[in-house]
Structure 1
Amino acid sequence: MSRQRIVLLGMMTKIPVAGVIWQTLHYLVGLERLGYETYYVEAHARTPSMLMERSEDDSSARAAAFIAGALDRFGFGERWAYHALHHDGRCYGMSEEELRALYGSAALIINLHGGTEPRPEHIATDRLVYLETDPVEVEVQLAAGRQETIDYLRPHCAYFTFGENYGRPDCLLPVSNEFAFRPTRQPVVLDFWRDLAEVPVDSFTTIGNWRQLWREIRLGGETYSWSKHEEFLKFIDLPSRTAPRFELALAGCDGSDRRLLEEHGWRVRDALPLSQNVETYRNYICESRGEFTVAKDQNVRLRTGWFSDRSATYLAAGRPVITQDTGFGNILPTGEGLFGFSTLDDIQAAVEAIDRDYPRHSRAAASIAHEFFDAEKVLAALLEQVGMPRTPPDLFIAPSSRRPTTLDAKTAETVLEAPLPSSVHRRSASAQASVVVVARDGLVYTRLCLESVLGSLDSPAFEVIVVDNGSADGTAEYLSRLSDRDPRLEVITNDSNKGFASAVNQGLAAADGQMLVILNNDTIMPPRALGLLLSHLTDESVGLVGPVSNEAATEAEVDMGYTTYRQLIEAAEDRGKEKSSLVDIPMLTMFCVAMRREVWECIGPLDERFRLSLFEDDDYSLRARRAGYRVVYAENVQVHHFGEASLGQLVPTGEHAQLFTANRRRFEEKWGITWQTHGRRVNDRYRETVLAVRDAVRQSVPSGSRVLVVSKGDDELLRFEDRQGAHFPQLEGGVYAGHHPADSAEAIEALERLRGDGAEFVVIPTTAMWWLDYYGGLRAYLESGGAVANSESCLIYRLGSPAR
């Protein structure tokens, strides 16, 4: 299975300098370390002029070679593309067909720097994220109502800015009413910068541009400049206040400017040799005592909170940073390892503090980097805000017990303590699909269910309608908070448990979609399962369609064998590649069923006579088939079902058995037929188990004996040579009861009654071995009679002579 894919749209060939390369690498490698498969793409339609030596150079080939050289050593040698939109549209690295497929399969496309014009193939995904690394210009244009900027931003589904002070009281940057910019910062892969120079030189350094006389902006009658030279000149006397230990590696600094700086005690060097090689650039930073730098006038006076990606790498190297205050002190700790300044006195005080205890400030710098700039933390927070699936891949999802279904305590803690995802999706005015989920307590299951559905990929626009049937375990509060974060979620709250059928009918009545899905809250929807399931509704002969699952209680149940979240996703991805065949089936259990609106309007709502739950799905499947529709499951769609997360609570009290019996009677009275046990899929492993059970009975049980089998209703397990097999538990007439005993006492009572009728042995197949753990009293009762066979396929116990 391929991991979730994230595409980073970048601009390295437009600005082919080491700082931009490192900035890009931190995103690529950081996302990779979070478990995603990351790809780098350039599709910005800008000529890579800085890479060209002559006008006749093949600019596209040079750009492609540059990307390959930058990425290959970091493991991205085959995961990049250069789309030469500035020239002939040719694709380098990946083919155009591969690139389009990548866009379509990507869980997220990040428009780094906001420098790539959204293209139709980006927009179609509804997963394009705007990430600006230089705030101010766009925000000012939005405030002025510039339509080109509005049109440029609208195709994105989320908006991030390095202006971390944005929206705070002291930030003068206009706040957009239409676009909700969220603060983020530069991620840094910390181990790229650690332990590279134990004894730094005595110089405070920086690398940057000197004079850039463009991108000035006007706001409120004021002009705000872009060029850093204006800010440096305000502090030109610094070396005379401390010592001549400040070195500037500058681009765009001509002879007269350089002479002016040197006359005031600054050391100046050309930035180009440093910027042409990522190793040289990194070594320069790591060998420095610290950084002294200024910020752009725009960020300083408007107090945007912008913080340099380069300064973040100084911190990661354990090098203290002294930088001009932009308001970042509202977010980042200052005073140790990091100092913001506004005056020469501030700078002098910072230098003196660092000199008094350099090791302390070096440790503080590294600590700030670890706490605030660690790539995995920064990117995990960003992905959380855009609603990326964030369930830990190794989360153990196999139940620790049944009836009631219980998850491992660590699993439950991990799920319940995880931060709520936010969504980048907008609620569609005309959702194509509506997913109706009924919840009754079981918050841990509801979270796994809803957050998996909301993370679906490659599906039509959908809404999720949750009907809360009087939950009292924090579910209502969770649903309220989640609906605030994701506009696709609508919540209907009932004061009490109205029953499954009634709640589903409430949800379907509120649904807008032309495709409808009924989903239990104790399910996990793999990322592409929803889209695959809905795709089968294009067949107009199909009335109801469901997935295969580990727990389906019909022929749609398949042997899975996975125990972790990652293994589930891998199994679902593998199954999704299979031929999309549909298999007709008498009945679909409603843990996951899809239908078209026209089918629902034809068949009608679920029958609410089946109180609480059970048999409403048997009834609905029969109604669909009698209306002339096919009832099918799709072999290429897999959904995880924990099973009985709610109803299992009723087993220990005996209410489950009573409910089963009452609703079965209602079903049979309604239709005038005898309910039949659901069929099961016979795979090779199960077939081998059946044959092995028969062989064990033949070898251990005398001919002519009556043998009870914990059968789950499978008649194949009752076919013994010269021996009479019977279901356990059973109703009058030997029909499989369709439910398990409430407790050991009920099971023993039933066995005693059947022993009185002549039963002599009971078989526990390996598929029912959990009985002996769950029903401790029953196990003791059976062991008192003694086991006559103990094999890999089954245990056989003697019940003794019939009671007289």
Structure 2
Amino acid sequence: METPVVSIIVLTFNQLEKATKFCIESVIKNTDLRKNELIVVDNASTDNTPGFLRKLESSPGKIRVKLNQWNRGYAGGNNDGIRMARGRYIVLLNNDTLTPAGWLGPLVNALETHPNIGLAGPVTNFAGNEQRIELRGLNRQNFEKIAAGYTSRNKGIWFETHRLGFFCVAMRAELIGEIGYLDEEFGIGMFEDDDFCLRVMKERRQSPAVLEDCFVYHMGGASFKHFSHDDYYALFRKNEKYFLKKHGFNWILSDSLLAYWAKLERDFSAFREQTGRLDPNIERALVRFEDFKHLLIQSYVAERKPMDHNKTTSPLAKKYQRQIRREIFRREFISGSMNQKWNYLKAIKSSLIERKWNKV
């Protein structure tokens, strides 16, 4: 049997009529299953999902199904699918997503042409990071038509991030052999995607990337709709503590703000380079942009300070703190007046004295 190019893994748990059926139908409709394969892993659903999947498996095409006897959680269920995968590339796809025509091509192309990309994800309508875009009037009935305009205008455009939402994520199959499977210690779910992204960055020195020319519709929230408010936050806190123990820090709200700032900065710079001139409308934003960045760093420090258990700064914040120090040095000491130079040196001296006393 010919080796498939991509193994698409869909993990299911109930929600057949609200999510799963629509997701799988969209994948079958908009994916060439003669060249790729679809693997569906069910985490012991109690509705009609198992019967639907058995019928699906008997239909023509490269569709395989695994029915778990108990709920193995997000990491465990996806790991089951990964072990079954035969493709050169693997895509993990939530069952509360809808895929449009041509959705798979940009994900594969990014991994084939950019060796520095370790993970690739699409833009979407529902996410907690820079992947979320607001396209006016978009809904699950018209998303293909509206999103196609955006993705066609952004062919080949992508950017690095520190976190990808795993509602849809693509990777090379060999990556699993290099850094291991998703961490099943996270149980039912939450934080295993952040953990996996960090492992890719640390162990492979590769970046998670968001592709502007790929859109996947995300209904959102299907995985935890059966949880009560208290159970949800108990699981969140449990996995947060495990993530902290494993990596030495936790993501906070300011990390997301810094990530959005970095994305906007790249887009402003690209606009300026493309036009070759500074439009007054853009200039009014740019002249305030540096101060905005300083405020974000101050917000980060203020938010982090009460968290005595969490002394380590996230990789994202470290990067921008270094960048800000360089810019202050350039502005105040290299390009500044004699008075600015003197004040800069006094500030450095005060900072060093304060650090010394804090260590005592």
TM-score strictly above 0.5: yes
- 2:71 equivalent to 1:489: no
Which structure features the higher share of strand residues?
Answer: 1
1:512 to 48, 71, 86: 86
Give yes or no for the alignment of 1:573 onto 2:148.
yes
CA offset at residue 563 of structure 1? 4.4
Letter in 2 for 1:571: I
> Aligned-residue CA RMSD in angstroms?
3.1
Q: Among 522, 526, 530, which residue is 2:100 paired with?
A: 526
Q: 1:734: how far off?
A: 11
1:438 is the counterpart of 2:11: yes
Work out whether 1:649 is the aligned partner of 2:226. yes
User: 1:593, 1:731 → 2: CA distance?
Assistant: 33
User: Could you tell me how far 1:612 is from its partner in structure 2?
Assistant: 0.6
8 Å contact 1:458–1:531 — kept in the other structure? Answer: no
Instruction: Specify the code of the residue in structure 2 equivalent to 1:545.
Output: A
Q: Secondary structure at the match of 1:500?
A: helix
Partner of 2:182: 606
Quote the Cα distance in structure 1 between the aligned partners of 2:252 and 2:12: 28
Deviations 1:332-363 (A, max 9, x none): xxxxxxxxxxxxxxxxxxxxxxxxxxxxxxxx
Is residue 458–residue 528 contact of structure 1 (8 Å, CA) maintained in 2? no
User: CA contact under 8 A between 1:457 and 1:531: conserved in structure 2?
Assistant: no
Aligned letter for 1:546? Answer: G
Asked whether the equivalents of residues 459 and 532 of structure 1 are also in contact (C-alpha less than 8 Å), the reply is no
CA pair 456-656 structure 1, distance change in 2 beyond 3 A: same
Query: Does residue 1:543 correspond to 2:140, yes or no?
Result: no
- Residue 561 of structure 1 corresponds to 136
Give the CA deviation at 1:649. Answer: 2.5
Once residues 206 and 106 of structure 2 are traced to their aligned partners in structure 1, the CA distance between those partners, rounded to angstroms, is 20
Q: Which residue of 2 aligns with 1:74?
A: none
Task: Indicate whether 1:456 and 2:30 are aligned.
Answer: yes
How much does 1:623 deviate?
Answer: 0.3
Q: Which amino acid aligns with 2:165?
A: T
In the alignment, which of 212, 231, 256 is matched to residue 679 of structure 1?
256
Aligned residue identity for 1:591: F
Structure 1 contact 460–531 (Cα < 8 Å) conserved: no
1:163-182 matches, within 5 Å, as: none
Structure 1 position 637 matched with structure 2 position 210:
no
CA deviation vs aligned residue, 1:265-287 (integer Å, no higher than 9, x gap): xxxxxxxxxxxxxxxxxxxxxxx
Task: Give per-residue Cα distances to partners, 1:769-801, cap 9 Å, x unaligned.
Answer: xxxxxxxxxxxxxxxxxxxxxxxxxxxxxxxxx
CA distance in 2: counterparts of 1:553 and 1:734, whole angstroms: 25
Other structure's SS at 1:624 match: helix
In structure 2, distance between residues paired with 1:460 and 1:476: 24
Superposition deviation, residue 458 in structure 1: 6.8
Aligned position for 1:623: 199
Q: CA deviation at 1:575?
A: 2.7
- For the Cα contact (< 8 Å) 1:432–1:460, is it kept in 2? no
Percent of residue pairs bearing the same amino acid type? 32
Q: How far apart, CA to CA, are the structure 2 residues paired with 1:548 and 1:492? A: 29
Q: Which segments of 5 or more consecutive residues in structure 2 lack a partner in the other structure?
A: 265-291, 297-301, 310-360
Q: TM-score, normalised by structure 2?
A: 0.69
Instruction: Report the counterpart of residue 663 of structure 1 in structure 2.
Output: 239
Q: 1:569 to 1:580 in 2, by over 3 A?
A: same
Q: How does 1:138-177 map to 2 (within 5 A)?
A: none
Does the C-alpha gap of structure 1 residues 452 and 552 become closer, same or farther in structure 2, counting only changes over 3 Å?
Answer: same
Q: CA deviation at 1:562?
A: 3.5
| Matched-pair contact (CA < 8 Å) for 1:575–1:637 | no
**Cα distance in structure 2, aligned partners of 1:639 and 1:566:** 13
1:250-261 correspondence runs (5 A)? none
Aligned 8 A contact 1:664 1:675 in 2: no
Q: In the alignment, residue 584 of structure 1 is paired with which amino acid?
A: E
How far apart are residue 733 of structure 1 and its match?
A: 4.6
Distance 1:732 1:637 in 2: 39
Alignment deviations for residues 296-329 of structure 1 (CA, whole Å, 9 cap, x no partner): xxxxxxxxxxxxxxxxxxxxxxxxxxxxxxxxxx
Secondary structure of residue in 2 paired with 1:664 = helix
Partner SS for 1:472: coil
- In the TM superposition, residue 619 of structure 1 has moved relative to its aligned partner by 0.3
Matches of 1:632 and 1:520, distance apart in 2: 18
Deviations 1:427-481 (A, max 9, x none): x631111011110111131111111111125788111111100101111111111
Match in the other structure for 1:175: none
The CA deviation at 1:732 is 6.8
Cα deviation 1:724-767 (Å, max 9, x = unaligned):
xx99xx997599xxxxxxxxxxxxxxxxxxxxxxxxxxxxxxxx
Q: Quick one: which amino acid aligns to residue 646 of structure 1?
A: S
The 5-angstrom pairing of residues 372-521 of structure 1 reads 429-444=2-17, 445-457=19-31, 461-521=35-95
Structure number with the higher helix fraction is 2
Following the alignment from structure 1 to structure 2, what is the Cα–Cα distance between the partners of residues 655 and 482? Answer: 33
Q: Name stretches of at least 5 consecutive residues in structure 1 with no aligned partner.
A: 1-427, 685-715, 721-725, 736-804
Q: What one-letter code is carried by the residue in structure 1 that aligns with 2:88?
A: Q
The separation in 2 between residues aligned to 1:562 and 1:495, in whole angstroms, is 41
CA shift, 1:564, in A, is: 3.6
Name the amino acid aligned to 1:607. Answer: D
1:277 corresponds in structure 2 to: none
The residue matched to 1:464 in structure 2 has which SS? strand
SS at match of 2:240: helix
2:337 matched residue in structure 1: none
Q: Give 3-state SS (helix, strand or coil) of 2:209's partner.
A: strand
Change over 3 Å in CA distance of 1:460–1:632 after alignment to 2 = farther
Q: 1:457 to 1:672 in 2, by over 3 A?
A: closer
Paired positions, count = 272
**Secondary structure in structure 2 of the residue aligned to 1:583:** strand
Please give the alpha-carbon distance, in whole angstroms, between the structure 2 residues aligned to 1:565 and 1:575. 16
CA–CA distance in 2 between the matches of 1:625 and 1:440? 30
